[in-house]
Copies of this chain bind each other. A is one copy, B any other.
Amino acid sequence: MDDVAGDLPHGTRGYQVLAAVVHDAPPTQAALAARLGIDRTVMTYLIDAFEGCGLVERRQDPADRRARRIVATDHGRGVLEAVDARVRQAEAELLGGLAEGERAALRALLERAADAVAHDEDRCAVVARATAPAAG
C-alpha cells in the first residue's frame, strides 16, 4: 500500500488526505484532521508538503478568516486518479489467485463482518484496510 502511494508525500496517509480533499467539499484543515484522526499540528506540515508539490491549495475561507479551505488542484486530481488506478491494480494482483466470483464473495464477507463491527466507523476504510495489508 505504501509502495503504491509511494510518490505521494507521506505515503498512505497522504493518499487518504488527498482523497478526502478531492472528494469532499473543500474541507478546513481542522475538519480534515478530525476526519482522518490526525493531529492538527501534523496536518499543518502535511498540507505544507502537498502545497509544495502543487497538489492542493490553501484558500481563505470567506466566512472565517482564521480558517483555510483546502482545495485540490487539477494536478492533484490527476495524481489521485493515477494512484487510485494503481491501488485497483494492486488489489487485482493481491486477489489474483481468486476467480471473479470468489473475489466478490470475499468482498461481501468482509463487508458484512465490517458492518457488524464498525457501525461508527467509515466502512470503506475498514474494508480497504482489511483488503490491503498483504500488498507489501
Which A positions have Cβ atoms within 8 angstroms of B?
93-98, 102, 105-106, 109-110, 112-118, 126, 129-131, 133-134
* Distance between A129 CB and nearest chain B CB, rounded to angstroms: 5
Chain B residues whose CB sits within 8 angstroms of the CB of A116 once the complex forms = 96-98
Stoichiometry, as copies per complex, reads 2
B130 touching A112 by the CB < 8 A rule?
no
CA distance A98 to B117 in the complex (A): 11
Q: How far is the CA of A104 from the CA of B119 in the complex (A)?
A: 23
Query: Across the interface, which residues of B come within 8 angstroms of A106, CB to CB?
Result: 106, 109-110, 113
Q: A106-B106, A109-B106, A109-B109 are in contact. Are A117 and B130 (CB under 8 A)?
A: no
Given contacts A126-B134, A133-B133, contact A93 B113 (CB under 8 A): no
